[in-house]
Structure 1
Amino acid sequence: MNPLKLPTTLLHDQAEACLAQWVTQLPPALPPAVTLDASGLAEFDSSALAVLLGLRRALTHKGSALRVEGMTPRLRELASLYGVMDLLQPA
């Protein structure tokens, strides 16, 4: 499975559609971990964290894990502020 990529912009208005698209496109058989590249994310709000946590939850339900790579310092700071950094740490 190719790594998923966060879009450049992920704000509240796009969050639900982004998560729904990823969840519906997940194949029935998943690898032990799915990689998500967050390096391209430039404009975002806390909804980006909701998308990451929602994807993590969907993957966990299917027996897989989420591995987030390329988190920008700003995204790391926001995840730490909200207390979810441990859930999004790269494996």
Structure 2
Amino acid sequence: MLLLPATLTMPVARDTLRMLSQAFKQEPDTGIVVDASGLQQFDTAALAVLLECQRVAQAWGKGFAVRHAPPKLLALARLYGVDAVLSFEGAAAAP
């Protein structure tokens, strides 16, 4: 399981995506799981990173899921209409 950093905003999104892409190579063949429980400060860049991670996983024929997403991330995904596209598991209900 891969862990998202505490801060995932526009200034660090590119570096975060690069780090996650490198870590994908070590994940099991069945799928990639990203743990978002550590996210404390984020903006729409977090959604962009997760969507790109999902795209890469699909291109490699792997599953993709986001676990333990904070309620505010779920609300942001719902606001932008990508909550149905991203697979959120074990997340608290969004406000």
Q: Give the alignment's TM-score, normalised by structure 2.
A: 0.85
In proportion to residue count, which structure has more helix? Answer: 1
- For 1:50, give the aligned amino acid: A
Say what the alpha-carbon RMSD is for the aligned residues: 1.6
Query: Out of 69, 72, 75, which is 1:74 matched to?
Result: 72
Bigger RCO (CA 8 Å, 6+ sep): 1
- Contact (CA 8 Å) 2:24, 2:32: kept in 1 or not? no
Instruction: Note the C-alpha offset of 1:23.
Output: 1.2
- Identical positions, percent: 36
Q: Please, which runs of 5 or more residues in structure 1 have no aligned partner?
A: none
Q: Give the alignment's TM-score, normalised by structure 1.
A: 0.88
Distance 2:76 2:83 in 1: 8
Instruction: Note the C-alpha offset of 1:5.
Output: 0.6
> Between Structure 1 and Structure 2, how many residues are aligned?
89
Instruction: Note the C-alpha offset of 1:76.
Output: 0.2
